[in-house]
Structures are given as structure tokens and as C-alpha cells.
Amino acid sequence: MSAAYWRRAMNIAPSKVATRTLVAPSPVAQTAPDAYAHSDAPRWLKSLWTRLSARHVLVALFVLLYPFIATPFFTYQVGAQALGLGLIALSLTFLGGYGGMVSLAQATVAGLAGYLVAIFGSSSMATISLGWPWWLAVPFAVAIATVFATLVGWLSVRTEGIYTIMITLAIGVAFFYLTQQNYTLFNGFQGFNQVFAPTVLELNFREPVPFYFLALACALAGYFFVKMLVRAPFGVALQGIRDNPRRMHALGYHVNAHRVAAYAVAGLMAAVGGVLMVWYNSRISPGTANVGAMIGILIIAVLGGMKHPIGAFIGAITYVLLQNFAIDAIPGFRERFNLVIGGVFLAIVLFSPDGLLGIWSKLRLHLMKGQSPTSNQRRLQ
């Protein structure tokens, strides 16, 4: 994952887009313009139709039907948790994969948003909590957490590369110790209990299925937001800055402004994820923002792979499943989750720097050995 690695990753991103729109080998794409030229459907609907393929439909059907076929445990503990964690990890994927800045403070931003929801909204600590309604508490919490993320970005863009990880780690750990020491605002070691998701229009978001759909909506919004943003001029400039900041500076781009803006965007996503996670746990304590949590988000992002936004969610599902089931599979390892996840993380970093997505693309290449690989696949090698 050196500079050369990011440069290689950069070469792939735009060409993928280009081949898909230019060649578009799927039959749907070829018939679509003819079949719909006469209809007056809006343009976005047509372009959506041309881009859609079978796997997209399958994944969409699966995530929509999942809560109705799964038990409440799977819907809530596995599904909703993975979506919430995935959204926080997605913010890191955006920063790290497209901005080249690996920030460990994303869990801190999420933790701050969660704390603010508890402080502004209602919890068991009536002396601290202000008891605002959710529609006032949540926007304020998200906004303040985003401002905090922007400040973190402003601080860490003053230095470059590997220093980022150190500075964001230091900020995150300092925040953790602050929440643990401070009783007037963060209620110290105890944190806040009974921070419940609200009931909106007869829909109780504390129930597994509504909460799952809330998390799904946020996660999908984040996913498509990132996909759109990395093709927008801002995203393309950001990827340029990742690969060669000096050249982008010479071209007249304000390098640091783009970087700080990327922190702000990532902070927004992490803050929304943080609100979801505090509702999921219905409590918050310093443990939510400790080093374990910060590294957990990094593990999720690296595990899935930082080359594509979907990696964050694949990583989150793997992480949650490992947390819940792999531990039981090995007798005596019930308490040793950190050892297992640390080992998995180490193996991924050592042997497949592109994460599970990298393994998948290698595997696909291997299976299609008979056919000659396309230029795009050849680049992936």
C-alpha cells in the first residue's frame, strides 16, 4: 500500500468507468437506447437502466428481503450492525482509498456524534442530557461532529503521508481519555445508558426490522454518494492529489482545501454511522471510541479492500460474522476475539493488500484463464 500501490489503484479507477460506458458489452445496454429512444422517460432513468446488471438486482433484492427471511437476531445484530459499521468504514475507504489519507480518527468522529446525541437528546443521565427531540438533536450532533472532523483534517493535512496516521491516532486516543476522565460532559467511565432510537410516525426504530431499513437507507445513501462523488470533478481532483500533490498544485488546485473538504465529507458519513451505532447499542461509553474501536474501523476497511466503496460493507459483514461465530467454532477461543481478528488482519495485510476484493479479483482472473483477459483485467494483475 505504498505510493506506487495507490498510483496503480488510480490507473484502474477511471479506466473502469471508461470501459463500462464505452464498450458496455451487456445485451441490455445495447438494446436500451433503441427501445427507449421514443419514450419520454427522464434521462437518469434511462442511464440507470443501461448500467443495471443482474448482480445489482440480486444484491438489491437480497438486502431488501433479508429482514423478512432472517431471524431478528440476524436482522439486528448482524445486518444492522454491519451496515452501521460499514458506513463508518466507508468514510475511511473514501479518505484512504480516494484521498490517500488513512485517518484513524473516523471512529472518534462517530463516537463524538454518538455522545452528542446522548447529550442533546435523552438518556438515563437526566442531569447532563438536554432532552431535545430527535429531529433537533440528531442534526446538531451530526453537524458538530462534521465540524470536528474538518478540524481534525485541517490539523492533519499540515503534514503528509504516514504522519497522518500518527496524528489522527493521537487525536483519537486523546478524545478517548477525555471521555474517560471528564464527568461534567461525558459522564466519565459510565457514559450514557438508554439512548434509544426514536419512534417516528408510528414506526418504532428500536424494533429490528425498521432499524435495519433505517441503517440500510443510510448505508445506501452513503454508498451511492461516494460512487457519485469520486466521478465528480471534486473526486477526480482528489484522486489526482492522492497520486501527485505537487503536479496538482502546479495545475492550480488548492491541494489542502481539497484534502480538508474530503475530511469534512468523510466526517459527515462517520457521524451518521455514529448516530446509527449509538441507537443500535442504545448506550455509549468511552469504549466506543477507544483504540480498539479506531483500529476496528481500519480493520474493516482494509479487510474488505479500499479500492471500491463496496469493500467497506464486505469488510463489515466479515468482521461482524467473525465476531459472532468464528469465535465459537474454535473451542477455548471465546474470549480471544482480538487474537483472531488481529491474525486475520495481519494475514490480509501481509498476503493480500487489496483485501477481500483483491482476493476476489485474483480468483476471477484465475477462473477465466481460458479466455483472454480484457485490458482492464490485465491492469489488475
Partner 1 sequence: MNGRVRRTRAHWAAWLLFGLPILALAIWAIVDNDRLFFTTFLNSLTLASLYFLVASGFTLVFGLMRNVNLAHGSLYLVGAYVGWVVGDYTDSWLLAVAAGFITAALIGLLMQVVVFRHMQGQDLRQTLVTIGLSIMLADVMLWIFGGEIYTFEPPKWIYGSTVLPIVAKFPTYRISVFVMALAIGLALWWFLARTRVGMMIRAGVDDRGMLAASGVNVQLVFAVTFAIGAGLAGFAGVVGGSALSISPGEDTRYLLASLVVVIVGGMGSVGGAAIGALLIGAAEQFGLAYAPTYSVVFTFVIMVLALAFRPRGLMGKAA
Beta carbons within 8 Å of 277's beta carbon, 6+ residues apart: 81, 84, 85, 88, 110, 114, 288
- Which of 41, 200, 291, 321 is close enough to bind partner 1 by CB under 8 A? 291
Site string for partner 1, 82-121 (x = CB under 8 A): --------------------x-------------------
- Which of 22, 69, 126, 350 is close enough to bind partner 1 by CB under 8 A? 350
Please give the residues from 211 up to 250 whose contact with partner 1 meets the rule CB under 8 A.
Answer: none
Cβ contact 270:103 at 8 Å: no
CB of 249 vs partner 1, minimal distance in Å: 17
SS3 label, residue 199: strand
Site string for partner 1, 2-21 (x = CB under 8 A): x--x----------------
CB of 303 vs partner 1, minimal distance in Å: 11
Site string for partner 1, 138-157 (x = CB under 8 A): -----------------x--
Per-residue burial over 279-295, b = 16 or more CB atoms within 10 Å of its CB, e = otherwise: bbbebbbbebbbeebbb
Alpha carbon distance 62, 73 (integer Å): 17
CB of 125 vs partner 1, minimal distance in Å: 16
Site string for partner 1, 155-194 (x = CB under 8 A): x--xx-xxx-xxx-xxx-xx--xx--xxxx----------
Three cell numbers, residue 265: 465529507
Alpha carbon distance 156, 309 (integer Å): 23
Alpha carbon distance 238, 99 (integer Å): 6
Which candidate, 4, 13, 2, 3, places its Cα nearest to that of 380?
Answer: 13
Of the two residues 336 and 364, which places its CB atom closer to partner 1 in the complex? 336
Three cell numbers, residue 316: 463489515
Please tell me whether residue 298 binds partner 1 under the rule CB under 8 A: yes
- Which of 300, 341, 356, 357 is close enough to bind partner 1 by CB under 8 A? 341
CB of 301 vs partner 1, minimal distance in Å: 11
40 phi and psi angles, rounded to 5 deg: -105, 35
- Which of 33, 131, 139, 343 is close enough to bind partner 1 by CB under 8 A? 343
Cβ contact 280:211 at 8 Å: yes
Alpha carbon distance 237, 53 (integer Å): 29
- If one counts every other C-beta atom within 10 angstroms of the C-beta of residue 43, the result is 7
CB of 289 vs partner 1, minimal distance in Å: 12
Size of the site for partner 1 (CB under 8 A): 42
Matching residue, cell 466521478: 231
CB of 158 vs partner 1, minimal distance in Å: 4
Q: Tell me, what amino acid is at 234? A: F
Cβ contact 168:101 at 8 Å: no
CB of 163 vs partner 1, minimal distance in Å: 8
CB of 327 vs partner 1, minimal distance in Å: 12
Q: Containing H/E element for 200?
A: strand 199-200
Please give the residues from 300 up to 339 whose contact with partner 1 meets the rule CB under 8 A.
Answer: 302, 335-336, 338-339
Q: Tell me, what amino acid is at 43? A: R
Residues that bind partner 1 (CB under 8 A): 1-2, 5, 102, 155, 158-159, 161-163, 165-167, 169-171, 173-174, 177-178, 181-184, 290-292, 295, 298, 302, 335-336, 338-339, 341-343, 345-346, 349-350, 353
